[in-house]
Structure 1
Amino acid sequence: MNYSQWATMPIGGSWREGSSDRYSDNRNPYTGEVLVSHKLANLEDVNEAYETALRVQKEWASLTPEHHSRILETAAALLADRIEETIALLQDETGSTKVKATMEVNAAIALIKEAAAYPYKMNEQVMPSTIPGKENQIYREPVGVVNVITSWNFPLSLSMRSIAPALAAGNGVVIKPASNTPISGGSFIAKLFEDAGVPKGLICVIIGSGSEVGDAVVKHPIPRVISFTGSTEVGRRIGALAGQYLKEVSLELGGNNAFIVLDDADIEQAVKAATFGKFLHQGQICMAINRMIVSRSIYPTFIEQLKKQVSTLKVGDPRQDDTIIGPLIDEKQRDQVLSLIEKGKQSGANVFLEGDVHGNVISPFILTDVDNRMSIAQEEIFGPIALVIPVDSEEEAVRIANDTRYGLTASVFTAFQERAIRVAKQLHTGMVHINDQTVNSDPAMPFGGEKDSGIGRFGGQWIFEKFTTVKWVSVQHEKRHYPIFN
């Protein structure tokens, strides 16, 4: 595929190069091939993007709900028509396998379709008053311009879950995609919506280095909401900056997700779920299973079946349809994962299945007899390493699951729903999935975590409320008596 068409970015209503004197190569993580080189954006580009998005947003917000909804439906249809092109893009730019890329494109389509209903929720509400003769009117309005900063692991769907709702609510959008995935996380989405009919300039993309424009896209006075998906460390800085300028934030950050298998679980099904939830996209998912917490009575059977199942996964070129484990995003991520493996070994974890390394590809590792106090069990792995922790009771499983600074998602496998719900209610996470793995997303459901896993929720009414504001207008229909007058 020729990626030269993506050498520019939409800023200020036109597609052009950035104004910085710095360049960045966008590389295929499997082959190392340069897909395209970008001349990066600078502070002047950031300002132009925001000013243009705000100006065009006023025009966009004045259009009817029917118009907004129709454009979103058109965008969903266009993406469905371009599914093979989009899958190839995700394979080349992110190292996605065919399975993962297909899931991501379908998720993005579903997110757009869900958002297509939001324009009809921008309605007026009339409420009674305690004051005689007064009528209260509540108007829901767009916030203006939303800044979207997203990660490289699921760039299309993670960007779309903010961009589509923001547009649907009548906002403009300025996107700062991850430097590894500027096309699938930014420019491709902007072009999709332009082709669907949004006015030029409503969506701008800033492809730039964090050191040059990272703080500026958050601190700029125009955006009122900052929507960020990424690491907890970067999320803390964005939250602090946004707080200084009294901006609303939606932060979806890291995870150290527990997969609890109780003694009465269906082991075969739990192993299949564990394999999917751990190794999809090489484990580079905030929702991926980090720690498998397994009742000791079934522990030997579970780890043997897990090893057998994982050993069947094809590793290698993500462009081959049957590949399940492709490359990590870059050398930095590969080296970080290898460092974690060494930490695990040094801490006393047993290497039950040892993988190998070819370029950015790491085949699966399984570490057993892991203690939750080990550093590897306390960190977000973001790679193809399964950690298995034996426990002696349901109470111990819950305690270990909660013994982390993160609180994104979790899973519980058990034969009894009442038991599962009891455990789920004790877990300090934003999401829990019973008899399923941790990688779940539904466009209408509240997606988000507790503790160091973030602030706020994506999806449905929760993200809609984040990207809108309300105005109270009261009308006094009859003369009112004021107590300072006789």
Structure 2
Amino acid sequence: MADTLSNDGLPFTSLYINGAYRPASMNATFPVINSYTGRIVGHSASASPADCVEAVEAAHRAFPAWESAPLAFRRDVLLKAADILESEDWKNKARKALKEETSSTEGWVSFNILPGPGALRNVAGMVNELKGDTFPSVNPGGKVFVQRRGHGVVFSVIPWNGPVPLTTRGVAIPLICGNTVVCRPSEYSPRIIGLMIDAYHQAGLPPGVLNFVPMSREDSPTLIQQIIAHPLVRKVTFTGSDRVGRIIAAEAGRHLKPCLVELGGKSPAVILEDADIEDAARSLVYGGLFNSGQICMSTERIIVQRPALEPLIAALKKHTAHLKIGDPSDPSTLLSSLFTEGSAENVVGLLKSAQEQGAEVILGDVTREGSVVRPHLIVGVRPGMELWKRESFGPILAITPVDTVDEAVELANDSDYTLVASLWTTNVYNAFEVGGRIRAGSVNINGPTMNSEAGEGQAGLGGTSGYGKFNVESFTDRRSLILHAEHRSYPFMGLT
């Protein structure tokens, strides 16, 4: 699939339905544009309503055999796919696609590609969690056998910003649990996500178990609504913005379908006065600026006790001074463009709005060059400002000084975005006492917000950061088989 070329010699991404690659039924396509250069770098088939129905129906037909397949078979398909992700041929194709489609720097390419095989093997190991239970029934002599069974067809919407790990999460976890999948990739990165689909195909995934329906930005709202409404779709997953997440969750709710969403983050980093400032600053630059801040776990709010404020600012300036920004084709570039010019304009707008309300920009010029925004350090961001409330998804280190630990915790919890947090202190007691009061899916003590533990899933506690976790519990049903004793009596009806 990834080797197919369109008429202009650029890569072409096909649909993948019922085990076969093909163009859209109406031959519709859309271009894929590099955000740094503004040039077209590929084309993708754009699914039609009929294509989407066919994908759902193929997944439904494949479900009984896939769910009943031996766990070892499901595991081995994913392990073989992991081997493919480890091959030089696949990595070279993925590296090229990431750079062309998402303007990725060498660092972000490595972050996506290198952990991929290990992450997929971890998912394959989830077969060990697909165990049931047995216990005596409330009815004398009876037994209850509880099984973990797949839901059926899962509709999974994958974003552009971390295509390798997020496709593993949104596709492989439902698959190992016995579900079949219809995958809709971001229109910004269909080729790299298509390469992930290709690895499953080469690994011997049976036809229909996984289906891939890229679609244009213009067609997406209608087609996504259509797929969610399809009676054969049993569950919906989405990773992306809270704006779109609300729409998808509401649509799933209309049809009473379970929906797992992992959205944005407004992750706080709390710096107590006894913190190791040098280590904290290095972590904040990594957690706040890697991939130009376009990560759901990026550090969005730095809440610091006043005695540590000036030393922290000095350390942040020192560690941002060396960052090379611009052309991602240069291996020495550390920060590239944002994914669209609209996103860059949004980031600049948030900075300007905070300035107008009294915050001070002490690093950066509050401008953009096309889709490139340089790192900004802004002090005095406070509740009520848009920059405090909204995920910036940009290279901004926003600092809020506080006096007390209680004030720091209160502000850390002053957000609907509860994905992850960070806490810096050299006092072990404070680490656990204060960390336990921060309301987040996970709190990294003396480490970056940009961290996810294998097997724990990644999700907030509700609100706009998301609902549920990508784990076995979320992608299986617990179903009971109740064995009744022979010759049961029914005394209430006089039957003995």
Which stretch of the first structure deviates more once superposed, 311-320 or 250-259?
311-320
Is 1:212 matched up with 2:222? Answer: yes
Contact 1:136 1:472 in 2 (8 A): yes
What does 1:352-431 correspond to in 2, within 5 Å? 352-355=362-365, 357-431=368-442
Return the alpha-carbon distance in structure 2 between the equivalents of residues 375 and 238 of structure 1: 24
Partner of 1:109: 117
SS in 2 for 1:351: strand
Please, what is the CA RMSD of the aligned residues? 1.8
| 1:23 CA drift (Å) | 3.4
Does the 8 Å CA contact 1:226/1:250 hold for their aligned counterparts?
yes
Structure 1 counterpart of 2:30, which letter? S
Structure 2 counterpart of 1:118, one-letter code: M
Cα separation, 1, equivalents of 2:321 and 2:427: 30
Query: Which residue of the other structure, out of 67, 79, 91, is the alignment partner of 2:73?
Result: 67
- SS of the residue corresponding to residue 336 of structure 2 reads coil
2:48 alignment partner in structure 1: 42
Q: Check whether the contact 2:15–2:45 (CA below 8 A) recurs between aligned residues.
A: no
Q: Secondary structure at the match of 2:312?
A: helix
**TM-score, normalised via structure 1 length:** 0.95
Per the alignment, residue 266 of structure 1 pairs with: 276
How many angstroms does 1:3 deviate by? 6.6
Q: Within 5 A, what are the aligned runs for 1:125-274?
A: 125-185=133-193, 187-208=194-215, 209-274=219-284
| Secondary structure of 2:450 counterpart | coil
Query: Is 1:99 paired with 2:107?
Result: yes
- 1:180 CA displacement: 0.9
Deviations 1:265-303 (A, max 9, x none): 000000000000000100001110111111111101111
| Paired AA for residue 332 in structure 1 | G
Q: Distance in 1 between matches of 2:464 and 2:370?
A: 32
Q: How does 1:48-59 map to 2 (within 5 A)?
A: 48-59=54-65
Cα distance, 1:119 vs structure 2:
2.9
Question: Of 282, 294, 301, which residue of structure 2 is paired with 1:284?
Answer: 294
Question: Structure 1 32/143 Cα, relative in aligned 2: closer, same or farther at 3 Å?
Answer: same
Letter in 1 for 2:54: E
Q: Percent identity?
A: 32
1:16 positional shift: 1.5
User: 2:157–2:170: 8 Å Cα contact kept in structure 1?
Assistant: no
Does the 8 Å contact 1:372/1:389 carry over to 2? no
- Given the alignment of the two structures, is residue 456 of structure 1 paired with residue 468 of structure 2, yes or no? yes
**The 10-residue stretch of structure 1 (381-390 or 125-134) with the greater mean CA deviation from structure 2:** 125-134
Residues 1:195 and 1:80: Cα distance change in structure 2 (over 3 Å): same
Q: Which residue of 1 aligns with 2:458?
A: 447
Unaligned stretches of 5+ in structure 1? none
Conserved? CA contact 1:345–1:351, under 8 Å: yes
Shift of 1:21: 6.8
1:117, CA displacement in angstroms?
A: 1.8
Task: Tell me the residue number matched to 2:312.
Answer: 302
Deviates more, 1:441-450 or 1:412-421: 441-450
Is the CA contact (8 Å cut-off) linking 2:306 and 2:401 kept in structure 1? yes
Moved more, 34-43 or 70-79: 34-43
The corresponding residue for 1:15 is: 21
Name whichever of 7-16 and 289-298 sits farther off. Answer: 7-16
Whether the 8 Å contact between 1:257 and 1:288 is mirrored in structure 2 is yes
Determine the C-alpha separation between the residues in 2 that align with 1:343 and 1:167. Answer: 45
CA 1:240–1:202: 2 relative to 1, 3 Å: same
Matched, 1:468 2:476: yes
Deviation track 1:343-379 (CA, whole Å, cap 9, x = no partner) reads: 1222221110114533322111111122233221111
Normalised by the size of structure 2, how large is the TM-score?
Answer: 0.93
Are 1:432 and 2:438 matched, yes or no? no
Does structure 2 retain, via aligned residues, the 8 Å contact 1:148–1:226? yes
1:324 to 307, 323, 334: 334
Q: 1:363 to 1:414 in 2, by over 3 A?
A: same
What is the CA-CA distance between 1:477 and the residue it aligns to?
Answer: 3.6
CA distance in 2, matches of 1:2, 1:250: 33
Aligned AA (1:457):
K
Deviation, 1:245, is: 1.6
Letter in structure 1 aligned against 2:299: I
Instruction: For 2:148, give the aligned amino acid.
Output: R
Give the Å deviation of 1:107.
Answer: 3.6
**In 2, Cα distance between equivalents of 1:298 and 1:477:** 70
Q: Which residue of 1 aligns with 2:360?
A: 350
* Structure 2 equivalent of residue 30 of structure 1: 36
- Show CA shifts across 1:96-154 (max 9, x none): 21112211223432331111122344344322123222121112211111111122211
Q: Partners in 1 of 2:430 and 2:309 — Cα distance?
A: 19
* Native 8 Å contact 1:13 1:52 kept in 2: no
